[in-house]
Structure 1
Amino acid sequence: MSDFILETAGLSKEFKGFAAVSGVDLKVRRGHIHALIGPNGAGKTTVFNLLTKFLPPTTGTIHFEGQDITTEAPAATARRGLIRSFQISATFPGLTVLENVRIGLQRKLGTGFHFWRSEKSLDALNGKAMELLESVDLGRFADTITGEMPYGRKRALEIATTLALEPTMMLLDEPTQGMGHEDIERVVALIRKVSEGRTILMVEHNLSVVANLCDRITVLTRGSVLAEGSYEEVSRDPRVLEAYVGSADINDAHH
């Protein structure tokens, strides 16, 4: 077994001649929390879409757990345990928090969206769903209608519904976006907790979150890898400072 759970080589994506992602070689170490950072338009979301097979690459390869998944269908890749956490819009705002997690569990079981199944068969999933909610500190919100939840708690629910699919590797797209300080702290603690026994790749704008949480950081700019290393290494790299702020201190760029 390689130390690297996910490896891309020469990964590129062109849209009508525009290179959104260009020759990206990414290696994510098993068990790490790895961040993709970079200015807007750097290609971070496109990389996520390529990894989860929502887009086919123009060139390059993707290996997960040593298997070439470059041309695999998105569902097949998800079944391998490479799973992206979607923002709450992907859940059902009119259902309770518990029901949303239960749907995640149903998907994992392959029973699909069998809403017409007897309540009895769904009750069997309630215990497991409650366990997941407790693990993200949402037990007391179980009967709350999802759409009425506070924003930061919705992000915790997204993580719970993703955990229901039993990911080996989780892709988190801007998990603290739009949050206040208190919510950010809670979500950072949650990510640290759920990272035990799995690998996490995250796109994140908030550099203090990255500094606190991530083992390794890849900096993208204009679709290419500019730098990679620990937060200490990349935050001192003059090319990274230049890319972010034209030369001011990276640590001032996000205050």
Structure 2
Amino acid sequence: MTIALQAKGLTKEFKGFIAVNNVDLSVKKGTIHALIGPNGAGKTTCFNLLTKFLQPTRGQITYEGRDITRMKPSEIARLGMVRSFQISAIFPDLTVLQNVRVALQRARGESYDFWRSDRVLSKFDDQAREYIAEVGLSDLTDERAASLPYGRKRALEIATTLALSPDMLLLDEPMAGMGREDVERISQLIRRIAENRTVLMVEHNLSVVAELSDHITVLARGEILAEGTYEQISKAPEVIEAYIGASHD
């Protein structure tokens, strides 16, 4: 399969501390790839390097064969590689429709222009409603984002991310803070949107990882400990030891 995102020798040092050490990672196009590991494994640092919110000390990152190592997040977003955040990043005082409409405005190179009339901005409404329907929020289109339950806020964030027309979606702990019902809903959503996109996610919920992932990379102490399907990595002695050890820290 074609490689969508690849890292070679990815390393990040912080004043002598090596948080990510010589990581080689390949995410195949059209798959759901999970990045997991015990606390302190370097997952977040690695994810921030891949999404360009940190610059590596050494190594190279390519997306669709293009070197993006020194690019900014806004630049890779324009290439079709967009991330969401662990903490929901939406405008709480805007409605669901308005939030997605803002993302559509920005994706088309227009300013946010909050002061423009609804008549002018309404040209984005039909497409915004399509993304809202895709994440299952059609019945909440006119609700203020602040009034939504937590799981629905995360769905709205994914809708605004989809409005940027990504070919690859990078999700930072999409299930963080969710109850079982919301986890099931967002899991179904991720599976649905991954039908025609590549997804890389950092996730602590191993049940979700087992259900959704085509391929898994396990990090420990900033290095790759194991890779493979969930069945493969769940039986690896070094992975079992890393997680059991972490539970006794």
Distance 1:214 1:149 in 2: 28
State the Cα distance separating 1:73 from its structure 2 match: 2.2
> After the TM superposition, which residues 22-101 of structure 1 pair with which residues of structure 2 at under 5 Å, given as runs?
22-87=21-86, 89-101=88-100
Distance 2:131 2:104 in 1: 10
State the Cα distance separating 1:112 from its structure 2 match: 2.3
Cα deviation per residue 1:72-106 (whole Å; 9 max; x = unaligned)? 12211110011001355421111111111111111
Where does structure 2 lack aligned partners over 5 or more consecutive residues? Answer: none
- Tell me what 1:213 maps to: 212
Distance 2:87 2:22 in 1: 32
Change (3 A) 1:239 1:87: closer
Q: State whether residues 241 and 247 of structure 1, in contact with CA within 8 Å, keep that contact through their aligned partners in structure 2.
A: no
Distance 2:186 2:43 in 1: 21
Identity %: 60
Q: State whether residues 13 and 20 of structure 2, in contact with CA within 8 Å, keep that contact through their aligned partners in structure 1.
A: yes
Distance 1:226 1:76 in 2: 31
Q: State whether residues 226 and 239 of structure 2, in contact with CA within 8 Å, keep that contact through their aligned partners in structure 1.
A: yes
Matched, 1:193 2:192: yes
> After the TM superposition, which residues 34-183 of structure 1 pair with which residues of structure 2 at under 5 Å, given as runs?
34-87=33-86, 89-183=88-182
Matched, 1:228 2:234: no
State the Cα distance separating 1:238 from its structure 2 match: 0.4
Please report the TM-score for the alignment, with normalisation by the length of structure 1. Answer: 0.94
Q: Look up the equivalent residue of 1:219 and give its one-letter code.
A: V
Distance 2:32 2:61 in 1: 19
- Tell me what 2:3 maps to: 4
Distance 1:148 1:247 in 2: 37
Distance 1:12 1:234 in 2: 23
SS of equivalent to 2:74: helix
Distance 1:40 1:110 in 2: 39
Q: State whether residues 95 and 145 of structure 2, in contact with CA within 8 Å, keep that contact through their aligned partners in structure 1.
A: yes
State the Cα distance separating 1:17 from its structure 2 match: 0.9
Aligned length: 248
Q: Look up the equivalent residue of 1:235 and give its one-letter code.
A: S
Distance 2:223 2:120 in 1: 49
Change (3 A) 1:247 1:140: closer
Change (3 A) 1:92 1:55: same
Cα deviation per residue 1:127-157 (whole Å; 9 max; x = unaligned)? 1111111111101111111011001111111
SS of equivalent to 2:196: coil
Q: State whether residues 12 and 20 of structure 1, in contact with CA within 8 Å, keep that contact through their aligned partners in structure 2.
A: yes
Change (3 A) 1:122 1:88: farther
Q: Look up the equivalent residue of 1:186 and give its one-letter code.
A: R
State the Cα distance separating 1:53 from its structure 2 match: 1.1
Cα deviation per residue 1:161-204 (whole Å; 9 max; x = unaligned)? 10000111000011111111111111100000000111000000
